[in-house]
């Protein structure tokens, strides 16, 4: 039986210009989507949907449209993300047993372009919904005092499914497949495990990520946490936008006195530009059927992050009405676009099969869509990169991947994965423990 929801949105005062929504990151089971101090933070749970397999996106879309259509929504704002909203995380693979999910919080605090609000949602037909009830419900959650975690001498970084040598061999095998003409690109991922001597403070990790990586999208959904630089699709009032990344350069090994180094090594590299072009072509080809017009950079730009540089391109498209007269929702576009060449390879069907063979692991939600959507069809869905899955309070599994093309070097690709692990390792205060990669496979 479908749950009937009631939601009320209440405008509130401005947030701190210094930390914005970060002041609301107090719970270890927090729902969050934050960039430059703005976004959405969720508390509690009013409704949940889970699904797996090839129809996971379509099933979630059907559930959400019915839920939103039946809901009583009182929203005086015309701001994307206000009113009834859900956070979501979807498995990378249609064959994964991972349960993709949409979660409607009890309380959402949102902030966008100077407008800040609280949305309270309930399934109780008798519950009071008022500005006072929304503030009171939020205050109960904010009573939680986040506990700072100090480094523990028992903290360790352990190998994941494959050892470093085994993963480099997988890269070499991938290059052999590319040279044989089987495919032009494959994205290979690997995992490592943070084994902690004392319980994790997920709220602390999120605050660290959101502060250090303000231009990225810091996310938290049901134990999946991270800060992604890649926007799969963003939909606002009939316009779709995406940010495509492919081509990476580690800042830790860059010369200090060469300001042209990232431009020369990325934009000036045939290998990096080839990898990037595959990714941008993949996205625009799948997005085009839903649009009336589309624009993108004629030349990629170099995106500077604290840990790496990326070749990046932004795409914008005006969405065209479908057969029913309505424009596609953000989740409908997610289904059409995922997986992109940036996280799978090209052709994606060939790359997907080879990934399963070479990685020897289930990615779960890693490199899958993560983000939010509202009842108006707006939404922001990033790709779950630079992140980790909290398996229990003392065990965190980190993931990182690299685009493999002709000419890729296994040792260089392994080094690139460590640069991509760095945001999570630093947020966990484990970067100092890199040399402690010991033990057997997890």
pLDDT band per the 50, 70, 90 thresholds, residue 189: very high
Tokens of 79: 């701001």
pLDDT at 185 over 80: yes
Question: Of these residues, 38, 106, 208, 230, which one is catalytic?
Answer: 230
CB atoms within 10 A of CB 13: 5
Does 357 participate in catalysis according to the annotation?
A: no
pLDDT (0 to 100) of residue 2: 61
- Element housing 421 (H / E): helix 410-427
Determine whether 230 is an active site residue.
Answer: yes
pLDDT, mean over the chain: 91
- 231-236/239-250 β-pairing: antiparallel
Q: Are 405 and 345 in contact (CB under 8 A)?
A: no
Report the pLDDT value the prediction gives residue 247, as an integer from 0 to 100.
79
pLDDT at 245 > cutoff 70? yes
Mean pLDDT of 347-372: 96
pLDDT at 437: 52
pLDDT of the residue at 439: 40
d(CA 91, CA 101): 9
Instruction: State the catalytic residue, choosing from 38, 106, 185, 416.
Output: 185
How far is 152 from 138, CA to CA, in rounded Å? 33
Radius of gyration of the chain (CA): 21
In contact, 379 and 110? CB cutoff 8 Å: no
* Nearest CA-CA partner of 311 in 230, 256, 200: 230
- The token pair that represents 408 in the structure block: 């890729």
* pTM for the full predicted model: 0.93
């Amino acid at each position: 039986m479908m749950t009937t929801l009631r939601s009320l949105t209440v405008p509130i005062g401005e947030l701190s210009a210094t930390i914005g929504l970060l002041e609301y990151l107090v719970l270890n089971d927090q729902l969050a989507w934050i960039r430059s101090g703005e976004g959405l933070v969720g508390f509690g749970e009013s409704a949940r949907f889970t699904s797996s397999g090839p129809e996971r996106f379509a099933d979630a879309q059907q559930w959400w449209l019915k839920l939103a259509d039946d809901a009583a929504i009182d929203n005086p704002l015309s701001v994307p993300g206000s009113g009834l909203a859900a956070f979501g995380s979807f498995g990378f693979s249609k064959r994964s047993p991972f349960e993709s999910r949409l979660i409607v919080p009890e309380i959402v605090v949102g902030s966008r372009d100077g407008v800040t609000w609280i949305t309270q949602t309930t399934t109780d037909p008798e519950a009071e919904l008022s500005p006072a009830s929304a503030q009171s419900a939020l205050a109960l959650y904010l009573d939680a005092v986040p506990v700072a975690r100090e480094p523990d001498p028992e903290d360790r970084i352990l190998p994941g499914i494959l050892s470093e040598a085994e993963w480099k061999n997988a890269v070499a095998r991938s290059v052999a497949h590319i040279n044989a003409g089987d495919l032009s690109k494959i994205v290979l991922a690997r995992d490592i495990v943070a084994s902690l001597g004392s319980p994790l403070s997920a709220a602390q990790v999120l605050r660290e990520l959101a502060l250090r990586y303000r231009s990225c999208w810091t996310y938290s959904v049901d134990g999946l946490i991270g800060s992604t630089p890649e926007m799969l699709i963003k939909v606002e009032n009939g316009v779709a936008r995406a940010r495509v990344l492919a081509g990476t350069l580690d800042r830790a090994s860059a010369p200090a006195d060469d300001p042209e180094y990232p431009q020369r090594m990325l934009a000036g590299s045939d290998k990096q530009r080839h990898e990037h072009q595959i990714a941008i072509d993949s996205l625009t080809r799948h997005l085009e059927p839903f649009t009336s017009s589309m624009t993108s950079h004629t030349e990629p730009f170099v995106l500077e992050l604290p840990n790496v540089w990326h070749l990046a391109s932004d795409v914008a498209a005006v969405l065209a009405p479908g057969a029913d007269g309505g424009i596609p929702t953000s989740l409908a576009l997610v289904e059409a676009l995922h997986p992109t060449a940036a996280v799978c390879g090209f052709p994606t069907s060939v790359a997907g099969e080879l990934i399963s063979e070479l990685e020897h692991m289930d990615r779960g939600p890693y490199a899958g869509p993560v983000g939010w959507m509202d009842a108006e069809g707006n939404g922001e869905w990033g790709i779950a990169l630079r992140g980790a899955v909290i398996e229990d309070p003392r065990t965190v599994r980190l993931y990182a991947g690299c685009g493999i093309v002709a000419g890729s070097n296994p040792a260089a690709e392994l080094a690139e994965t460590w640069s991509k692990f760095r945001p999570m390792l630093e947020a966990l205060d484990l970067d100092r423990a890199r040399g402690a990669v010991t033990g057997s496979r997890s």
